[in-house]
Amino acid sequence: MNDKLALPVGTTLDRFIMRKQEAFPYATGELSQLLRDIALAAKIVNREINRAGLLDVTGAYGQQNVQGEDQQKLDVIANIRFIRALRNGGEVCTIISEEEDDIIQTGNIGGKYIVAIDPLDGSSNIDVNVSIGTIFSIYRRVSEQGADGTMEDCLQKGVRQVAAGYVIYGSSTMMVYTTGHGVNGFTYDPSLGEFFLSHPNITSPETGSTYSINEGSFNSFPEGVKQYVNYCKESGYSARYIGSLVADFHRNLLKGGIYIYPATAKAPNGKLRLMYECNALAFIVEQAGGKATNGYQRIMEMQPTELHQRCPLIIGSTEMVDKVEEYLKSEVEVG
């Protein structure tokens, strides 16, 4: 018999999570179940995205979220799907969502975890069929079980994360996550309805030749960022900016590169959200050997003071991030 006719399909996400469960001495399976709940919701959202053009769920919903951004129909759908999955899973007491003004109490007062989530990042790209994603961050609650989660539970530094990840819905759908023991990527096989390990032990290159930044705002960048962009051009680097954070980050994570969303005149505190975008991706990139900073401080050391706090983000290959920090430091010294 020809063995090539029945090649193994690989390790499923569920099996991988089960094998790694022993890495959490304080858990008895709750975190593993929580990751499975997120994966289930991602499968459902993936289905909705793939049918978007057929079901009239593209386009604007007609309302704005707490950030003042126009909600897309799929933003609302993804938000509902993830909240429902996390509530029904029973492991999460409180959720922070980009699409909700306040914290969401699930009613699971015995839940040990807090989840901060951007249910559908880059949703303005839905109508033009560009890759979009989900970003999530998981914390252990610090308050006593038996009651709703508190604001103290929610406003923890990124260094307190126990897991973080993202799902990218593109030419293939992938879930990438870390629990503080390296980064692993899983590709979804829709014919089997399973995520399979496809990118084990992801290690990001120390440097790269790709930079991702919205150069349309160049004139309002800090001087140090302007100097770095000019340095990239002089060095012959390639500019790659999709305008979908997960897609830009994913490419740079695998191939080497840097993503920059600095403070600008229009957004003096940056645009990206610390709790459910920056912290999650910072945890992932650090576990893969990269670096994340706001230009002056490690992202995961920042103390959040509000749910939807914004911050500048410079993230990617270590040597490239270091270079930006050098330019910004020189700017401060000159100033």
Residue stretches of the annotated binding site for Mg(2+): 98, 118, 120-121, 277
Amino acid at 313: L
For residue 205, tell me if it sits in a domain: no
Q: Which helix or strand (DSSP H or E) is residue 88 part of?
A: helix 73-89
For residue 215, tell me if it sits in a domain: yes
Residue stretches of the annotated binding site: 98, 118, 120-124, 214, 241, 271, 277
CATH number of the CATH domain containing 278: 3.40.190.80
Q: Are 140 and 104 in contact (CB under 8 A)?
A: no
For residue 74, tell me if it sits in a domain: yes
Q: Same structural domain for residues 268 and 330?
A: yes
For residue 300, tell me if it sits in a domain: yes
CATH number of the CATH domain containing 71: 3.30.540.10
Write down which residue in 175, 199, 223 finishes a domain: 199
| DSSP classification of residue 66 | T
Tokens of 62: 């007609």
Q: Same structural domain for residues 278 and 143?
A: no
Enter the pTM of the model: 0.92
For residue 2, tell me if it sits in a domain: no
Q: Same structural domain for residues 129 and 189?
A: yes
State which residues form the domain around 325. Answer: 210-334
| DSSP classification of residue 298 | B
Q: Same structural domain for residues 214 and 93?
A: no
Tokens of 180: 């503080």
For residue 122, the model assigns a pLDDT of 86
Tabulate helix, strand, coil % of the chain (nearest 5).
Answer: 40, 25, 35
Write down which residue in 174, 199, 224 finishes a domain: 199
Q: Same structural domain for residues 283 and 261?
A: yes
Q: Same structural domain for residues 179 and 256?
A: no
For residue 29, the model assigns a pLDDT of 83
For residue 290, tell me if it sits in a domain: yes
Q: How many domains does the chain have?
A: 2
Q: Same structural domain for residues 172 and 109?
A: yes
Q: Same structural domain for residues 82 and 152?
A: yes
Write down which residue in 130, 165, 199 finishes a domain: 199
Length of the chain: 335
For residue 1, tell me if it sits in a domain: no
Q: Same structural domain for residues 167 and 230?
A: no
Give the span between the Cα atoms of 46 and 255, in whole angstroms.
Answer: 25
Q: Same structural domain for residues 195 and 214?
A: no
Q: Same structural domain for residues 73 and 149?
A: yes
Q: Same structural domain for residues 62 and 153?
A: yes
For residue 68, the model assigns a pLDDT of 52
Give the span between the Cα atoms of 325 and 171, in whole angstroms.
Answer: 34
For residue 53, the model assigns a pLDDT of 57
For residue 4, the model assigns a pLDDT of 53
Averages of pLDDT over runs of 10 residues in the chain (335 residues) are 56 90 70 94 92 54 51 85 96 96 97 97 80 96 96 98 96 95 96 95 97 96 97 97 95 98 93 97 98 97 97 98 96 61
Residue stretches of the annotated binding site for substrate: 121-124, 214, 241, 271
For residue 204, tell me if it sits in a domain: no
Q: Of 309, 311, 310, 307, which is closest to residue 103 (Cα–Cα)?
A: 307
